[in-house]
A and B are shown apart, each in its own frame.
Chain A
Amino acid sequence: MMQQVVTYPLLFQLLLSIILMFVWRRIDLQRIISICGSLVGVALSGWLFFHVWTNGTQTVQAASWDAPFGITFVADTLAATLVLLTSISGLAVSSYSSASVIPARLRFGYFPIFHFLLLGLIGAFLTGDIFNLYVWFEIIIISSFVLITLGGEKPQIEGAVKYFTLNILASIIFLTAIAVMYGLTGSLNMADLAVIVPKLENRGLVEVAAILFLIGFGIKSAVFPLYFWLPASYHTPPSAVSAIFGGLLTKVGVYALIRIFTLIFLDDILLDDILLIIAVLTLFSGAIGALVQKNVRKVFSYLIICHIGFMIAGLGMFTEAAIAGAIFYLIHDIIVKTNLFMISGVIYRIKGTINIKSLGGLYEKYPKLSLLIAIPFFSLIGIPPLSGFWPKISLILAGLDTNNYIVIGGIIFASLLTLIVIARVWSEVFWKNPVKLPKREHFLYFEDMTNLRKVQFIAPVVFLTLVSLYIGFGAEHIQQISSRIAGELLNHGEYIKAVMPKS
């Protein structure tokens, strides 16, 4: 029975979305079920995490078909941590969307689809089968297509066309890579692939498959030459949707890259070099892109791209310290990016616009709220005791160990530009003298909200800020977790043994 705990968070999200579909027309009921359900989801994921933390990697073989023949679900520390973070972000966004998304949008199945998205994310983290990973990716993108188009405004539809095309293309490339992999090995189980692939004679084709995986996941995680769909689409849907997209969707791509390149394709110097070059270029292009944007949410979109570079750099350096840094950054980034997009929604609800030029004077009007918002901003930059600082230290130290001075330069440059960008946002949005804006008709301003709604609206921001603060001040614990994950990833014998005990 205890073994099945791996599948509980997964099955629970499925159950939740099905229940929500039965109350399709009752938005008020959907809100309550979604928030309460997300709370239970966090509890289940927390249980899974502590179970994995104390007992090591857990596996479930679907229908008791032993690996490599059946589909395996594997919860190692990395997967369990990410499932927990997904549930935490899911809880925050669930409460946030029930307050901020207008009923006209909620009426078309927002909550069921939202929980299907979380289901897809959790499935992608837990699966140990590469084709199953493809299926979870498809569940994620189908749900995200619905969420991004709900409402059907002009920019939304146009953004959706771009988002849709490139994500489908990424899936097709991923499928091609699976086909090549299956042709080479005759297996789909990741642990089995990890055993077979190093023994293969045909290295040329293995490299082709690796590059195909890199491109497929690269589009999804928005790395340097493949990121153009992200700033074209992430600012168009309501900020609750952007929050879950910005926090988690690109991170699934990063997770897949980390999993594939620490488990299956190892000892490939060419690939490490490619990853490092991509990482540095991603850091540069994301940071410079963020510098010139005038829409707050577009600024944050470019910052997502920029900070993907940190994780790819950690993966590219491929030492235990570097991967621990990348994992730490991943943990920090999921929470802080979800929070950033929710904050952009708060600014939108207060002022009715999101353009930097016409904003201003927020600090004067809402000093406490502004100070609250300052904390995630500072964690994002990486001011010393806060959460963004620690992983950067690990990454820079790892860069010194491996003599990758260009990567160190890229990391410092990106951090500096992030500082400039956030300082600019802060001074324009919070400190500048307020610009007189015409009152918008039929627009729910923050000050007109009922108190309960205000609480629902601000509580998620407070909650994620507290989590961010914990990651910063309890960095010792997070470092312990990420070191253990890095250790598990680099000595993947344990993972293989957990999946296939007999081999």
Chain B
Amino acid sequence: MELLLAIMTGVLYAAGLYMILRRSLVKLIIGLIIISNGANLLIFLLGRITKGHPPIIPEDAKMFSEIYADPVPQALILTAIVISFGLQSFAIILVKRAYKVVNTDDIDKMNATDEEV
């Protein structure tokens, strides 16, 4: 399972970076979405995957005696997912606006900021 997730994380990072480097605006956004999913998966993976051991202390014990699933990475991922959801929806609107204003989907044609005003 760890190996599979590790490979998956690597693939997501690579695919995301590749998409960011393309010239199309939409592909840029897709790349950012993929790479942020990769980051979330990485947090999950590095929090050590433990199956079937919820982090609940038994009634007769004072502390954990055996290994348990760490709940913190999941809380982190949840926060990161919510934040990236907000950012992605903003990004999609921005891309739509950019397409309307500049009239192209090609990042190489977005040179208005380099012109001498």
Q: Of residues 57 to 99 in B, which have CB atoms within 8 Å of A's CB atoms?
A: 70, 72-73, 76, 79-80, 83, 86-87, 90-91, 94-95, 97-98
In the complex, what residue of chain B is closest to A167 when comparing beta carbons? B87
A178-B43, A188-B72 in contact; A158/B32 too (CB < 8 A)?
Answer: no
Contact of A183 among B47, B97, B111 (CB under 8 A): B47
CB distance A164 to B91 under 8 Å? yes
The smallest C-beta distance from B59 to any residue of chain A, in angstroms, reads 22
**What residues of A have a CB within 8 angstroms of the CB of B48 in the complex?**
183
- Contacts A152-B101, A154-B101, A157-B102; A165 near B20 (Cβ below 8 A): yes
Interchain CA distance A176-B35 in the complex, whole Å: 10
Q: Are A176 and B42 in contact (CB under 8 A)?
A: yes
Q: Is A155 an interface residue (CB 8 A)?
A: yes
Q: Determine whether the beta carbon of A182 is less than 8 Å from that of B72.
A: yes
Contact A354 B42 (CB under 8 A): no
Please give, as numbers and ranges, the residues of chain A lying within 8 Å of B47 by CB-CB distance.
Answer: 182-183
| In contact, B117 and A169 (Cβ under 8 angstroms) | no
A156 vs B11: C-alpha distance in the bound complex, in angstroms? 34
The reply to whether A158 and B110 form a contact with Cβ atoms under 8 Å apart is yes
- Contact with A164, one of B43, B70, B94, B110 (Cβ below 8 angstroms): B94
Knowing A142-B90, A178-B43, say if A154 contacts B72 (CB, 8 Å): no
In the complex, A296→B86 CA distance in Å?
Answer: 34
| CB contacts between A and B, total, < 8 Å | 102
Contact B98 A161 (CB under 8 A): yes
Interface membership of A162, Cβ < 8 A: yes
Task: Decide: B97 and A157 in contact? CB cutoff 8 A.
Answer: yes
Interface-centre pick from B32, B36, B46, B70 (highest chain A CB count, 10 A): B46
Contact A161 B43 (CB under 8 A): no
Bound together, the chains give a CA A233 to CA B113 distance in angstroms of: 7
Contact check, B36 vs A186: say whether CB atoms are below 8 A apart.
no
Chain B residues with CB below 8 A from A179, complex form:
39, 42-43, 46
Report yes or no: B113 in contact with A159, Cβ–Cβ below 8 A: yes
Assess whether B94 is in contact with A142, with CB atoms less than 8 Å apart.
Answer: no
Cα–Cα, bound, A126→B102 (Å)? 40
For chain B, what secondary structure do more than half of its interface residues adopt (helix, strand, loop), or is it mixed?
A: helix
Nearest opposing residue in chain A for B110, CB measure: A158
Question: In the complex, what residues of A have CB within 8 A of residue B80's CB?
Answer: 134, 175
Q: Mark B10-43, 1 if CB is under 8 A from A, else 0.
A: 0000000000100001001000100110010011
Task: Among B35, B36, B91, B112, point to the contact of A158 (Cβ < 8 A).
Answer: B112
Which residues on B sit within 8 Å (CB–CB) of A138?
Answer: 83, 87
> Is there an interface contact between A182 and B94, defined as CB atoms closer than 8 Å?
no
Mask, A116-132, CB within 8 Å of B = 1, is: 00000000000000010
Considering only residues 273-321 of chain A, those with a C-beta below 8 Å from chain B are: 294-295
Residues on B with C-beta less than 8 A from A469 are: none
In the complex, whether A236 has a CB less than 8 A from a CB of chain B is yes
A232 contacts B by Cβ under 8 Å:
yes
Distance (whole angstroms) from the CB of B109 to the closest CB of chain A = 10
Question: Taking the complex as formed, is A135 at the interface, i.e. its CB lies under 8 A from any CB of chain B?
Answer: yes
Q: In angstroms, how far is the closest chain A Cβ from the Cβ of B79?
A: 7
- B70 CB, min distance to chain A CBs, angstroms: 7
> Do B70 and A186 touch (CB < 8 A)?
yes
Least CB distance, A281 to chain B, in whole angstroms: 22
Q: Is the CB of A154 within 8 A of B112?
A: yes
A208 and B47 CA atoms in complex are apart in Å by 17
- Is there contact, CB below 8 Å, between B43 and A175? yes
- Write out the residue numbers on chain B whose beta carbons fall within 8 Å of the beta carbon of A479: none
CB–CB B79/A152 < 8 A: no
- Residues 146-173 of chain A: 1 if any B CB is under 8 Å from the residue's CB, otherwise 0? 0001001111011111101100110010
CA distance A5 to B81 in the complex (A): 32
Q: Which residues of A contact B97 (CB under 8 A)?
A: 149, 152, 157
A427 contacts partner chain B, Cβ-Cβ < 8 Å? no
Contact (Cβ within 8 A) B46 A182: yes
**Which A residues lie within 8 Å of B111 (CB)?**
158
Which residues on the B side are within 8 Å of A295 (C-beta)? 116-117
Most B CB contacts (10 A, CB to CB) among A142, A154, A161, A186 go to: A161
Give bound CA distance, A433 to B90, whole Å: 46
The 8 A-B pairs with the shortest beta carbon distances in the complex, nearest first, are A183-B46, A179-B43, A158-B110, A179-B42, A175-B39, A155-B112, A138-B83, A232-B113
Interface residue ranges, B against A (CB under 8 Å): 20, 25, 28, 32, 35-36, 39, 42-43, 45-48, 70, 72-73, 76, 79-80, 83, 86-87, 90-91, 94-95, 97-98, 101-102, 107, 110-114, 116-117
10 contacts between A and B (CB under 8 A): A134-B80, A152-B101, A154-B112, A159-B113, A161-B94, A164-B94, A178-B43, A179-B39, A295-B116, A355-B117
